């Protein structure tokens, strides 16, 4: 009771501002916190410009020029906070306002020559320039990135790759100049991933030389079509083509949906998909076709054609192969989504780690300063594995971009498999990173102006558009199954997709893993190859068992879906790690290589820490504990390089957020 009385007296004296409080119970305030830029205390042990060259990989001057274009225009919503200028969309605007701002930004960029050559020039150089542009757009705003992605790689890409010369001559320059605004009408209400079962139907009228496109039922309405609700003038419609009563499968047709004044064309109905959890700067719409007639020349005919008298022609007789050839060029959408996810991870980590280098919480001893968030081992354990993962994804993204830019007919299968694998892995990783960063920023992560929390809603869609991630992992596993069976049937070695390790003796994980072993790149590669190899063998065996019980191939694959997902992930992480090792091998000895080696070991360790290594018996419980301890050590070793690692992302300050800098001044009363 005496203790309770004393505490009550202290509080009473404090509230009444008594001049005679109890001497031993005086309440005193700490000195006010002040912001100290991390640059004053953090050192750069390696050249951040050289690291940026390594992880960005290409077109650095082009990127910086684009950043500058956006910073200097009022269209990109510059705001001064805490003495710094930040550019970010105003997400408090209505959906309609956000859409109009996205359109104005595209026109601004077009008028300054940003898109010059994007569709009218060919070659590796222009492809890499486009990728650099999309990476910059993804840093600023997902709506800008997506609306441009629909217009150029999807609408424009469909004409480029599925069309022929007369399509190119008629449509590409106007598309590049943005006098035509294109969209991509593939997805339907009833069919998203299963493109082969689309319900839109097209027939041919030989009397008029026209195709007739029809939406036969409500589930056949085109759904989620970016650009369709307000701005698009034309679309590529994916539809079943019926010729003389025979369904020849899915084909693509150019259809005008609005006239030059923006009015919807006859026999076309368009509705708005409405407000979304993100991407409200993109006008997603729904389209119905009521026996819409288009000229015969509007069939994109690189794979198949219809003669004036209504005869169907294709050099590819097998419908499966024809469908594959027709869809192969569309992989650029997955490539763009994958690389965009990497750059959003960079934005989130740059903001969160800068905040953690200046925000303090709790003292370890009385009268000592509070501790920086990033000096807590738990905070390091949360964030540094994600930094390592982002570096790994950067190298893998660079590999994927070059693979696509140098594509040949022979490499189309590899591009399809790798892009599917990386798209799923990168977007899953990105959502994990955004969530962890949101939490690591505490309450400040909830504020829209600080970007990290808001980006979760903006990027959530990436897990499902251009292919549901679970289905993509099944697709990858099916492809690996086919490679395995083909090698067995021909009695030949594995070649391609990085599967050459299957030709070598099976690696063995030592019974006792030491720190030296865990940091050895050869051990790391062996461990990842062992998992992929074993899961492929298990997957093949289980599928064949299911087939032996009478299931058909698709049923067997569905029965083995858990193994399929694990195998797809194992393939992806091994492939990503391989690109990391290759990037590291290009460096001479020195501090840059040393830091990259630590990051590589951390990435490998978090892959090996995955539950699959215990589930399938590759690691003992004791070795699993050794891996976990090693991760803690690696995180601690990366702590001195924290600022340098995120500065190497090359993201200008204006594209981060207020909490990445002077968050005290940003929140001062004078700015209310």
The residues annotated with a catalytic role in the active site are 466
Q: How far apart are CA 155 and CA 519, in angstroms?
A: 46
Q: How many residues does the chain have?
A: 672
Determine the Cα angle at 499 with ends 493 and 503, to 5°. Answer: 40
Using alpha carbons, select from 173, 121, 123, 184 the residue that is nearest to residue 148: 184
Q: Is 464 annotated as contributing to ligand binding? A: no
Cα–Cα distances (Å) from 364 to 20, 42, 368, 372, 406, in that order, read 32, 21, 7, 11, 56
Count of CB atoms situated within 10 Å of the CB of 305:
16
- As a three-state string, the secondary structure of 621-649 is HHHHHHHHHHHHHHHHHHHHHHHHHHHCC
Q: How far apart are CA 423 and CA 349, in angstroms?
A: 20
- Tell me how far apart the terminal alpha carbons of the chain are, to the nearest angstrom: 46
Cα–Cα distances (Å) from 342 to 138, 162, 657, in that order, read 9, 29, 18
| Local structure of residue 172 (DSSP, 8 states) | H
- Please name the residues in contact with 552: beta carbons below 8 A apart, sequence gap of 6 or more: none
C-beta separation of 405 from 128 below 8 A: yes
Helix (H) or strand (E) holding 294: strand 292-295
Label residue 82 left, alpha or beta by phi (over 0 means left) and psi (-120 to 50 means alpha). Answer: left
Q: How far apart are CA 223 and CA 242, in angstroms?
A: 22
Q: How far apart are CA 560 and CA 538, in angstroms?
A: 10
Q: Is 249 annotated as contributing to ligand binding? A: no
Q: How far apart are CA 271 and CA 289, in angstroms?
A: 12
Task: Give, to the nearest 10 degrees, the angle between helix 377-405 and helix 621-638.
Answer: 90
Could you tell me the sign of the dihedral formed by the alpha carbons of 462, 464, 467, 471, in that order?
positive
CA atoms within 13 A on the CB side of 195: 22
Q: How far apart are CA 397 and CA 11, in angstroms?
A: 60
Return the structure tokens found at 416. Answer: 């399809």
| Local structure of residue 33 (DSSP, 8 states) | P
Residue list for the binding site for FAD: 187, 226
């Amino acid at each position: 009771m005496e203790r309770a009385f004393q505490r009550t007296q202290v509080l009473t004296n404090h509230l009444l501002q008594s001049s005679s409080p109890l001497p031993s119970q005086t309440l005193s305030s700490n000195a006010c916190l002040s912001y100290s830029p991390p640059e004053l205390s953090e050192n750069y042990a390696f050249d951040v410009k050289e690291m940026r060259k390594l992880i960005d990989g290409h077109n650095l001057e082009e990127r910086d020029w684009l950043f500058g274009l956006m910073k200097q225009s009022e269209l990109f919503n510059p705001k001064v906070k805490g003495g710094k200028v930040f550019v970010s969309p105003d997400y408090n605007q209505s959906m309609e306002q956000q859409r109009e701002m996205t359109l104005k930004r595209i026109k601004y960029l077009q008028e300054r020559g940003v898109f010059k050559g994007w569709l009218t020039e060919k070659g590796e150089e222009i492809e890499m320039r486009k990728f650099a542009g999309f990476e910059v757009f993804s840093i600023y705003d997902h709506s800008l990135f997506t609306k441009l992605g629909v217009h150029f790689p999807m609408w424009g890409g469909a004409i480029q790759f599925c069309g022929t010369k007369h399509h190119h001559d008629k449509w590409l320059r106007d598309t590049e100049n943005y006098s035509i605004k294109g969209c991509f009408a593939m997805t339907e209400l009833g069919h998203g991933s299963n493109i082969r079962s689309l319900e839109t139907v097209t027939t041919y009228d030989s009397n008029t030389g026209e195709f007739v496109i029809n939406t036969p039922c409500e589930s056949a309405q085109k759904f989620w079509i970016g650009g369709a609700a307000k701005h698009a003038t034309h679309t590529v419609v994916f539809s079943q083509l019926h010729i003389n009563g025979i369904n020849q499968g899915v084909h693509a047709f150019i259809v005008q949906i609005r006239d030059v004044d923006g009015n919807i064309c006859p026999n076309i109905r368009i509705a708005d998909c409405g407000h979304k959890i993100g991407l409200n700067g993109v006008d997603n719409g729904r389209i119905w076709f009521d026996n819409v007639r288009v000229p015969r020349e509007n069939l994109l005919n690189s794979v198949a054609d219809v003669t004036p008298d209504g005869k169907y022609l294709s050099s590819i007789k097998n419908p499966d192969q024809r469908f594959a050839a027709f869809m192969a060029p569309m992989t650029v959408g997955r490539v763009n989504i994958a690389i965009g996810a990497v750059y959003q991870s960079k934005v989130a980590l740059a903001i969160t780690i800068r905040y953690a280098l200046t925000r303090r919480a709790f003292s370890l001893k009385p009268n000592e300063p509070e501790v920086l968030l990033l000096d807590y081992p738990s905070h390091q354990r949360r964030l540094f594995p994600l930094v390592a993962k982002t570096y790994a994804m950067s190298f893998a993204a660079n590999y994927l971009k070059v693979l696509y830019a140098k594509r040949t007919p022979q490499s189309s299968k590899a591009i399809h498999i790798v892009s599917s694998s990386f798209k799923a892995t990168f977007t899953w990783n990105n959502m994990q990173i955004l969530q962890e960063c949101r939490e690591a920023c505490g309450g400040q992560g909830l504020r829209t102006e600080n970007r990290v929390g808001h980006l979760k809603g903006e990027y959530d869609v990436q897990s499902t558009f251009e292919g549901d991630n679970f289905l993509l992992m099944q697709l990858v596993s099916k492809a690996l199954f086919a490679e395995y069976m083909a090698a067995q049937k021909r009695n030949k070695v594995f070649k391609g997709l990085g599967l050459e390790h299957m030709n070598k003796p099976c690696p063995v994980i030592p019974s006792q893993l030491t720190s030296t072993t865990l940091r050895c790149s050869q051990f790391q590669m062996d461990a990842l190859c062992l998992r992929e190899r074993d899961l492929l063998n298990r997957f093949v065996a289980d599928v064949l068992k299911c087939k032996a019980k009478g299931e058909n191939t698709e049923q067997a694959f569905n029965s083995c879906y858990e193994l399929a997902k694990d195998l797809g992930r194992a393939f992806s992480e091994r492939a990503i790690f391989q690109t990391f090792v290759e990037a590291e091998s290009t460096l001479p000895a020195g501090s840059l290589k040393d830091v990259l080696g630590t990051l590589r070991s951390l990435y490998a360790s978090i892959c090996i820490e995955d539950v699959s290594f215990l589930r399938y018996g590759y690691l003992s419980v004791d070795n699993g504990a050794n891996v976990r301890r090693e991760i803690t050590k690696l995180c601690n070793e990366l702590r001195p390089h924290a600022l340098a690692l995120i500065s190497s992302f090359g993201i200008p300050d204006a594209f981060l957020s207020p909490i990445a800098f002077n968050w005290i001044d940003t929140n001062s009363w004078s700015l209310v």
